[in-house]
Amino acid sequence: MADSLKRSIANLQARIANLERQLSVGTRPFGTSSLGVDPELIIPAFDDASPRALIGTGSILAEGTGIQITKPANTPYLAIAASGTGVDHGLLTGLADDDHTQYALLAGRSGGQSLIGGTASGDDLTLTSTSNTANRGSIIIGSAAHTYTADTDMILRSAAISLDFASATGTFLTFSPTITYDQAGNAFGGYFVFDNNPTYTNPSTEANSPGPLISFFDRPVIRANSQAWTIASHDSFLSQPTLNRLTSGGPTVTSLYHFRASGGTIDTASTVTTRYGLYIDDMTVNGVLNTQVGVEILNLTAATTDIGFRNASTSVYTPLNTNVTAVGTTIRSDATYVTLTANASYTLTAAPTIADGQDGQLLIITNEDTVDTVTIQDQGTLASSNLRLGATTRALAPRDSIVLIYNSTIGDWVELVFNNVI
């Protein structure tokens, strides 16, 4: 009995090994027999033909095919046959286990995960909302219902990047849509390449006051590492449109705005203390800043009519004051409009009386003192006064004004207008 069992087990092991070999090379078709299986795969279970309830029914896998091992009733044999339909993946155990970290886990993975597009140089990663080309959906970053609770929460953030190439330019984030209007006869609406449309709502239980609400915040850090380097320029925003034609015809743009501050709406329950269409603040300088220009408009010559600056509203020159307390006081020139006050009447002897300005700079001076007169002197009267006046001196009594312009070729302030009022 023991020897028969050993031979049966050895025979079974040999037949299974042979079966696995035949299946792996794909050369062994399954035949049929009276038991419905390949005759060569009918394996005696026991030599004594006495069935035992020691061998049940199960299945194994070989190259993705289900292999059925059964014990036919009233026979001393094991029958091995292909199951025909393979194995149902949903019946496997451990499907919820995260055993394959080479694949993205849609439900999320502890510690986070990275998705990389390709392996070759220049490969891309393309995300598309749907395979339906008739009506694409959106690619949504972040859950619409998510509540961000920490100061470090960010919906989209770039990791640290090191540049190690010699090309002239590099781009970290690029939007390059090709937009073709191809439905004849339709009136098309506007198109927004970038549409920032947040809604800020305070809690209904309290009137809390948040910090500044900023739609676009550009705050680069430009620093040198051991070696000095020179950067040609830094542009926080650069608009450079191109108009051309593909085959024939040509586009006509009624108004081309490089930067536009639209009016917006303030409803009856809202208050805005001050609205700025463009606000330019001063820098904090601990190093060297040679020249600072708030707004620069170059000489525009390309159009039929060129206008450097046009203002249909009022123009306001914020006045800065010089308080004259001695004959050696100098009059400031760091503003367009300067007012004078004094603690007595003086004829100024400071050389220069007004420091050099920029070529073409305009300076308006008004004495707003109610009692005292401040007298300035021409370069011919006071050497190095830096003033070219219409007379040897100009006495600025209360309410009097003088308008000067700086000419770098002359090297002095030149009088344009002197107004002596009653």
pLDDT in tens, 164-204: 555 555 666 666 777 776 666 666 667 677 777 778 787 78
What pLDDT, on the 0 to 100 scale, is given for residue 246? 84
Residue 186, pLDDT score: 66
Please state, in angstroms and rounded to a whole number, the distance separating the CA atoms of residues 365 and 384. 19
CA separation for the pair 360, 365 (Å, rounded): 16
Confidence of residue 279 (pLDDT cuts 50, 70, 90): very high
> What is the maximum alpha-carbon separation in the chain?
140
365, β-bridge pairs: 338, 402
Confidence of residue 50 (pLDDT cuts 50, 70, 90): very low
Q: How does residue 159 score in pLDDT terms, banded at 50, 70 and 90? A: low
- According to DSSP, the β-strands at 77-82 and 346-347 are unpaired
CA 153 to CA 25: how far, in whole Å?
A: 55
Mean pLDDT over each residue of the chain, to the nearest integer: 79
Q: Which of 18-22, 250-254, 408-412 has the lowest mean pLDDT?
A: 18-22
DSSP labels for 102-149?
TS--TT--TT-------SSTT------S-S-SSS------S-TT----
With beta carbons less than 8 A apart as the criterion, state whether 317 and 337 touch: yes
Q: Is the per-residue pLDDT at 1 higher than 90?
A: no
pLDDT band at 47 (very low <50, low <70, confident <90, very high): very low
Q: Strand order in 65-70's β-sheet?
A: 42-44, 77-82, 65-70, 58-62
Q: Where are the domains of the chain?
A: 2-91, 320-419
Indicate the helix (H) or strand (E) that contains 375.
Answer: strand 374-377
Integer Cα distance of 252 and 352 in angstroms: 55
Q: Which two tokens stand for residue 139?
A: 């690619």
pTM of structure: 0.66
394 vs 183, 324, 387, 389, CA distance in Å?
73, 16, 10, 8
Q: Model confidence at 163, in pLDDT bands (50, 70, 90)?
A: low
Please say whether the beta carbons of 393 and 376 come within 8 A. Answer: yes
DSSP state of 331: B
Answer positive or negative: Cα dihedral of 385, 390, 395, 399.
negative
pLDDT at 120 over 60: yes
Give the alpha-carbon dihedral of 411, 413, 417, 419, to 10 degrees.
Answer: -150
How does pLDDT run across 366-390, given as a tens digit for each residue?
999 999 999 999 999 999 999 999 9
Distance, in Å, from the CA atom of 124 to the CA atom of 116, rounded to the nearest integer, reads 9
| Nearest C-alpha neighbor of 375 from the set 349, 351, 343, 354 | 349
